[in-house]
Amino acid sequence: MLKMSLTDRDEHNKKRIPILMNYLKLRITDSAHSLSQQHAVFRIELEYGDGLLKWVVYREMADFWNLHGRYKVANLRHEIPNLPAFPKIGLPYWNLLKEEREKHMQEMGMGGKEISKEKFNRIQRERLENYLLKLIRAVMFRPEANRLCKFLEISALSIQLATAGAGAFQGKQGYLSLHVSGGSGSGISRKGLKGFHPMHFKKKHEPKWFLVRESYIVCVDEPDDPTIYDVILIDSDFVIERPKRLYKQGLHLLQHHKDEKTTPFTEDLKSDTATTSTSPVATGKPGDSATFNGAEDPADPSTTNSAPAKKKAVRDASSHTFYVKNSERRLRLVAKNERQMDQFVASIEMMAKRSIWAGKNRFDSFAPIRMNVEAQWLVDGRDYFWNLSKAILMAKESIYIHDWWLSPELYLRRPPAANEKWRLDHLLQRKAKEGVKIFVIVYKEVSNDFTPVESNYTKTRLLGLHRNIHVQRSPSHGLTPQFWSHHEKMCVIDQTIAFMGGLDLCFGRWDTPGHVLIDDGPTGMGMAREEIPDDVQIWTGKDYSNGRVSDFFTLSKPEEDMYDRNKVPRQPWHDIGLQLVGQPARDLCRHFVQRWNYLLRTKNHTRLMPFLLPPADFTPLELAQKRIFGTCEAQICRSASPWSIGTPNKVEHSIQTAYIKAIQLSDHFVYIENQFFISSTLVEGVVIENKIGDALVSRIIRAHHEGTAWRAIIVIPLEPGYPASLDSAEAGSVRLILECQNRTICRGQHSIFGRLRKEGIDPDEYITFFGLRGWGKLKNGCLTSEAIYIHAKCMVVDDRVAIIGSANINERSQRGDRDSELACVIRDTDMMESTMGGRPYQVGRFAHSLRVRLMREHLGIDTDEMEARELGLDVRSRDSIKSSQAHSTHSAPWDPDREQQQGMHETQKHGHVKGQAEQAKHTARHVAHEIANVAAIESDRAAQEFADGSR
């Protein structure tokens, strides 16, 4: 194999396609138009690697003749031992009858009897099949095998994808020329160097080898090269266009066309997987297929078969050119002949028809509803980073990270003195050395003074760890800075387990439910584990932060403190994250792949980075084998726009739509935690356009008119997290945010309170706002207090539906055309008995447990102690529910407007009270030490190896 890929060259000086031909099996199982001299069609079923990959190829008799002729020419240049002769039975049937019937009858052992056409077809297929098998044996170790691989539509990338388990669908393969059409959001492949470069221009306009896969079209330079040249994703806007040609319309007006009667193959021939059964063959007179010219042949499943109403439009369309268009780009593809073009169009149409990505989704989201999902909320940074660190540790293939800010020196487990190996950069470096491919996208700030995240430092540090780590920053700021940001936070490990929500992998986010203010002990760094004192620091260096005092600075020196810990308390950080296993993780991968590839097409990179492919959906068998099952319904939503994801004519704001719809359909209450609350108002003549505030007002008015109890509980920060006093000259942005929030909530006639009072409604009866504050004692004995910063972006509705993500309730996050965001809508089908409005009411376990957990924390209850006490019963009850509902598909998705559809043809488918500060501090340190001990003795073998690994 190494010799094939490095030294062997075919007649075109191309590398040998690295395929082991002895692992290739084939059968010719059916045929049509066997009486035609050129257009007899044969169905070739192929299998590689004992079922690793199965696919079907359709070839005409002319293709066989051309293949053999090329090998005869090659044999004259370089002798090919044992090159088989072309079977005489492959000659046209009628010539055989007229000229050499008797002779060939004797050769076939048929005596002098005349054979039926059906027997002739069978013998013809057998002889051609034997010819291909002999040809494989003759060229399997020679570079001339390239021609046979192309004939059988097999390439290095298709085998690589099959080996990686990247989906079972294998569509058409072959050469097409690729051109970008006007008005596209981005170009083709990677952005080239500035100026005109002849070699780059030549290579760009050479035909590429295309593969049609389960939800995308991918191309490479040559079939021997697995390096991806570009990817075209299927989405809800995907269409295939066939341009009309005026000369063809004129020619057809001058010709008389008569209908040709043929007997088509049965529908099972359209299957993309090989089968052993054969189907009835077409019969007729010589020349029956001539009308089709290898395209639009109803007897050939590899070509298109348009509806009668579209026959004329297809007949007048181009014979070589067609367009594929999605929400990002419109690309012109040119085939060498009409039959090849028609086969590609048919394959793409079949793929898109069966793809879940080509239909319309609930809330107009890019992603579909997923059922039987395993989902787990994670409140505050300690639990989120603990689960994330364990998932990264177990990574075997890939890690995708997308963050607004990433701190390489972040400790995922505490205290830092006992968990040096769990520092983010150390963990990623270890996995990269093990062969895990790591891809990172971080927000590129306008300036470090404006947003002090120092993304260039992050990029430099990560790239210096290992060559398997790839980093892109976005957006690029040219002459006109882009003031919107990539605000989403997500991490996907091995395309199977995903983390998302409000937590960036950066300083200041790790916290416990106790939200301790004071951390003034020794660092303990460099001490042996047994020497680490009990009062060791939990937040070291830059991690000890207070955004109301000063923002971050000198991040390149992460170990240095920013404040005097004896005088300045830290600002506690409250946040909510989400862990998803299974199909939603694949959806987040697809989003990441779309972002990554868009950046590759639009940014100049000195380092060559690969295009990524979206993973295929898990099959039911894969989910069962991996034991991935749960009781939740989940859907990924996002805010995405032309600037952020490269869709020139589309803005997605499915997060806002989900918030509004959930509020409108609520029965009893909504509970919201968010960093901001700006919506549906008028501020200094500027209209705030997102409609979440309108939805709340409308729902309250309806509850008032119906005389039913309904309430909105909203928790937001007491003040924006900016380092300036409200009356200082530098606090203009802080005062503007507060003005917008006040105008949304209670100030003026356009506020929620003002609109309710206009309707004669007392707002206090229906909606309440809260902030959180904690307190502690400095080393000198003085009491201190600080607002707990609410950074969560979450809504719980009726304890049935929960929305968790990165989107704030403001214009930047909700409109879609500004900041890019991610959120997940979750509804648990595991129902519990509860009481609301004085009546029995069933609630979902996921949403109910999340809301109760948040309220317990905010009321000062020791949630760790309570959860530990409840854990035994809860685990047993949940396990019994999971086992009984593991494969349940009877629960219909929550789709009130019946928006969920599939395929190109849209086939419809179903204020904070805290206890004793010292006690909270002691609890936090106790939990941190317990975590360190668990890390040392964790039963998971991989974690044990990591904890006790090389020093």
pLDDT tens digits, 395-430:
999 999 999 999 999 999 999 999 999 999 999 999
Question: Is 489 a known active-site residue?
Answer: yes
Of the listed 54, 150, 489, 574, which one is catalytic?
489
pLDDT at position 247, please?
A: 57
Beta-bridge mates of residue 334? 177, 321
H or E stretch at 211: strand 208-212
DSSP letter string, 24-51: EEEEEEEEE-TTSSS--EEEEEEEETTT
| DSSP assignment letter at 688 | -
Question: Is 494 a known active-site residue?
Answer: yes
Q: Which two tokens stand for residue 843?
A: 């609630």
Residues 6+ apart with CB under 8 A from 42: 28, 30, 31, 58, 59, 60, 61, 64, 125, 128
**Alpha-carbon gap, residue 42 to 503, rounded angstroms:** 57
pLDDT at position 283, please?
A: 35
Out of 179-188, 562-571, 623-632, pick the least confident: 179-188
Of the listed 68, 208, 487, 542, which one is catalytic?
487
Of the listed 39, 402, 793, 912, which one is catalytic?
793
Of the listed 798, 819, 828, 830, which one is catalytic?
798
Mean pLDDT computed over 283-295: 45
Rg (CA), the chain: 32
Residues 766-803: pLDDT tens digits? 999 999 999 999 999 999 999 999 999 999 999 999 99
Beta-bridge mates of residue 841? 834
**Alpha-carbon gap, residue 328 to 235, rounded angstroms:** 9
pLDDT at position 182, please?
A: 55
Question: Is 819 a known active-site residue?
Answer: no
Between β-strands 686-687 and 370-379, what pairing exists: parallel, antiparallel or unpaired?
unpaired
Question: Is 830 a known active-site residue?
Answer: no
Of the listed 390, 486, 515, 791, which one is catalytic?
791
Question: Is 197 a known active-site residue?
Answer: no
pLDDT: which is higher, 304 or 569: 569
Residues 222-239: pLDDT tens digits? 999 999 999 999 999 999
Q: Which two tokens stand for residue 478?
A: 């040219």
H or E stretch at 934: helix 917-937
**Alpha-carbon gap, residue 835 to 855, rounded angstroms:** 17
Q: Is the pLDDT of residue 950 over 90?
A: no
Q: Which two tokens stand for residue 221?
A: 């330079």
**Alpha-carbon gap, residue 561 to 818, rounded angstroms:** 34
* Nearest alpha carbon to residue 794 among 725, 867, 715: 715
Between β-strands 497-501 and 490-493, what pairing exists: parallel, antiparallel or unpaired?
antiparallel
Of the listed 383, 494, 799, 864, which one is catalytic?
494
Confidence of residue 78 (pLDDT cuts 50, 70, 90): confident
Question: Is 848 a known active-site residue?
Answer: no
Confidence of residue 153 (pLDDT cuts 50, 70, 90): very high
50 CB neighbour count, 10 Å cutoff: 8
pLDDT at position 10, please?
A: 75
Tell if the pTM clears 0.85, that is, is over it.
yes
| DSSP assignment letter at 532 | -
